[in-house]
Amino acid sequence: MGARNGCVALVDALLLSLAVYVSYALRFSIFLEHAAAYGIFEAGPLYVAAVMFSFYAGGVYRVYWLQTSIEELLILLKAYLPACAVLIGLYVGTDVPFVVPRSVMGMLFLCGFAFLTLSRLSWRLTLQEHNGNPRRRTLIVGAGEAGVLLARDLKRHDSDFNVVGFLDDDPAKLKKTIAGIPVLGTLRELIGIVGAERISDVWVALPSAPACRVRDLLNGLLSLKSSVRILPSLQELADGTVSLNKLRKVRLEDLLPREPVSLDAEQIGQLLHGRTVLISGAGGSIGSEIVRQILPYAPAALVLLGHGEFSIYTLLEELRERACQTELVPVIADVADERAMEEVFSRWRPDIVFHAAAHKHVPLMECNAREAIRTNALGTWILGRMAGRYETKRFVMISTDKAVNPSSVMGASKRIAEMALMELQKDYPQTAYMAVRFGNVLGSRGSVVPKFERQIAAGGPVTVTHPRMVRYFMLIPEAAGLVLQTAAIGSPGRIYVLDMGKPVNIAEVARTLIRLNGYEPDRDVRIAYTGIRPGEKLFEELFYDEKHVEATSHSKIFCAKISEEGRAEITGMLGKIETLLGEPEIASSLAKIVPEYRGSGEAAGEK
């Protein structure tokens, strides 16, 4: 027993002695000089000795009591009860030379435990009040089940946070106390209460609230200096449990105007259950999320095709932790390697292919046009032709909004890939080929968000190409889910377009991220405009003309019509691609295959 717990034991002995006297005094209204007649000097030392011995044997003095919680008090109770049981047996069942009234025994045991418990709690409270780090005043938005569970979880752990109140719009809860914490007001009063109560931390616990309501609340909190954390939505809480470790920082996607996407799980399940599915680019942002979302539908096998060994290894380790019954097949190969693709298809004969492998970095591909065409165009042709040869049922390619009126080599290469699929559809009608176009995805490795985060962490400046540049944004899980839905409902030989919502101004994204990190744009962190880079446009398009798009059975998925003139151009694509790869200046020859292609110089000058 260390010196600190030795002091604790001494205090315990004194408190137990006090409990003996208090219990006798409460029963007989006596003072110390009259206590001898009631056996206090015999029963008291026996009680103190029995409890102290039980505490020592039960490990009570090996506990760090300055962080007292329910768990520590349970240890105390488990050691206290055996001592009480022994004393009851001794007092009642044996011929002791003194009599302890039963009423005194009951009060003695209750007083003793109460004194011991209060002493430990007072030590903890005193420590928290006088240590160098005062507890952070915290407000929980939402006094529903999730908010109350957070507050209770906080009480079970030693923490730097002190919840001073709830906010809730339920009139029945206003000015009431829940879990010992007052409901201070409604959500409309948030800003005023944060100031009046000197709140340093705001926790938003509204997992079942509509996304638009949470988004408006979070946008309002950006102007405050308080730290804001959020409990994820019920969809994100995979295991359904609510605890402190589920709280996370507010992310950019929490603030964007995105409506929730509903999927027809039955349709998708009919497509995927028991099938062999190949995903190219499986280690990438979109490819890996497609894999994760396919897994619950219990396919027979997942062929994880990728060019980077580490990303495939990381994904494989993640999937194996789920202990699923699906066979996981890692394949490291290049989609433009025809011989390697032949081996993969001849061995595994996939029923469905999701083709996500591609080079996507626009400025980088301007300097590496040959590789962009080889991977994005030739790789798609080779993979698609193998799917036709081995009678794959569905082939779904991930395309991009940059394939519409392309101004970059990357965009043009993806447009060629789309055209290649349309020709393959004529050659292999038993396979349903389709492409799915969408814009930028938040959180991907090529997204502007990680770059902005790094620049903010370094103190700025945050570099934006143009103050009027806008882009479509989508969440990775949202995009992957809609790709699966498209695969389930899509028709052969079609190009589908996902509803990306409204385009977002990139400069506003930068300002929002700066505020999320606790700074003020252009005061704490500067925004610098660098000019449009080669291959970039001020805005992207999802289709050529609104007249050339039609609805599908899903409100978030549209079908782009291909004109008869466009269909006439989709012939001899393999020869065109091979000829293009043989050109000394690939970029300048792209318009021979993609008439709507405009070089980076023209795109950079658009208004």
- Asked if the model's pLDDT at residue 232 lies above 90, the reply is no
- Band (66; pLDDT cuts 50, 70, 90): low
What's the confidence (pLDDT) of residue 328?
94
Q: Residue 5 is encoded by which pair of tokens?
A: 């717990």
Q: Confidence class of residue 3 from pLDDT cuts 50, 70 and 90?
A: low
**In the prediction, which pLDDT does 56 show?**
81
Tell whether the model's pLDDT for residue 392 goes beyond 80: yes
Residue 393 has pLDDT above 90, yes or no: yes
| CA pair distance 172, 187, nearest whole angstrom | 14
pLDDT for 574: 77
Options 3.30.70.100, 3.40.50.720, 3.30.230.10, 3.30.70.2200; CATH for 265-440+473-502+541-586 is: 3.40.50.720
Tell whether omega for the bond before 350 is within 30 degrees of 0, i.e. cis: no
Both structure tokens of 571: 């012939």
Q: Higher confidence at residue 551 or residue 411?
A: 411
- pLDDT for 519 equals 80
Identify the band that residue 606 occupies on the pLDDT scale cut at 50, 70 and 90.
Answer: very low
Higher local confidence (pLDDT), 87 or 539: 87
- Under the banding of pLDDT at 50, 70 and 90, the label for residue 272 is very high
Please name which of 419, 367, 426 lies closest in space to residue 577, comparing C-alpha atoms. Answer: 419
| pLDDT over 60 (residue 215) | yes
The pLDDT of residue 431: 97
Domain residue limits, the chain: 3-130, 136-250, 265-440+473-502+541-586
Provide the residue type at 488 as one letter. Answer: A
485 contacts: CB under 8 Å, gap ≥ 6: 263, 264, 267, 268, 554, 556, 557
Cβ pair 483, 354 in contact under 8 A: yes
Question: Mean pLDDT lowest for which of 36-50, 283-297, 317-331?
Answer: 36-50
Most confident range (mean pLDDT) of 3-12, 177-186, 418-427 is 418-427
* Spatial CB neighbours of 153, under 8 Å, sequence gap ≥ 6: 242, 243, 244
Contact 464, 511 (CB under 8 A): no
Angle at 139 (CA atoms; ends 136, 141), nearest 5 degrees: 150
**What are the tens digits of pLDDT across the range 136-155?**
888 999 888 888 888 887 77
Taking alpha carbons only, the member of 217, 224, 218, 175 closest to residue 195 is 224
| Assigned CATH class of 136-250 | alpha beta
Residue 174's closest CA among 193, 191, 161? 193
Q: Render the burial of 533-553: b for 16+ CB within 10 Å, e for the rest.
A: bbbbbbebbbbbeeeebeebe
Q: At 108, is the pLDDT very low, low, confident or very high (cuts 50, 70, 90)?
A: confident
- Asked whether 418 and 378 are in contact (CB, 8 A), the reply is no
| Gap between the Cα atoms of 254 and 480, Å rounded | 18
Characterize the bridge pairing of strands 432-437 and 494-498.
parallel
The total number of residues shown for the chain amounts to 607
CB atoms within 10 A of CB 433: 31
More confident residue, 4 or 135: 135
Give me the torsion for CA of 145, 181, 185, 136, rounded to 10°.
Answer: -100
3-class SS string, 335-397: CCCHHHHHHHHHHHCCCEEEECCCCCCHHHHHCCHHHHHHHHHHHHHHHHHHHHHCCCCEEEE
pLDDT bracket for residue 563 (50, 70, 90): low
Lowest mean per-residue pLDDT among 251-265, 409-423, 447-461: 251-265
| Averaged pLDDT of the chain | 81
- Where does the pLDDT of residue 543 fall: very low under 50, low under 70, confident under 90, or very high at 90 and above? low
CA dist 466 and 475 (Å) reads 23
Integer Cα distance of 60 and 80 in angstroms: 10
Return the beta strands (E) in 168-265 as ranges. 177-178, 181-185, 201-204, 227-230, 248-249
Relative orientation angle of helices 285-294 and 309-320, to the nearest 10 degrees = 20
Across 99-108, 196-205, 284-293, 363-372, the highest mean pLDDT is recorded for 284-293
Q: Could you tell me which residue, 69 or 186, shows the higher pLDDT? A: 186
pLDDT at 345 > cutoff 80: yes
% of the chain exceeding 90 in pLDDT: 28
pLDDT score of 564? 47
Predicted local confidence at residue 237, as pLDDT: 52
pLDDT on residue 395: 98
Contacts of 558 (CB under 8 A, 6+ apart): 496, 497, 498, 499, 543, 549, 550, 551, 552
Give me the phi and psi of 100, to 5 degrees please.
-110, 115
Please classify residue 66 by burial: count the beta carbons closer than 10 Å to its beta carbon, then call 0-12 exposed, 13-18 middle and 19+ buried.
Answer: middle
Q: 603: pLDDT confidence band, cut at 50, 70 and 90?
A: very low
Q: Which amino acid is at 61?
A: Y
Work out the average pLDDT over 502-510. 83
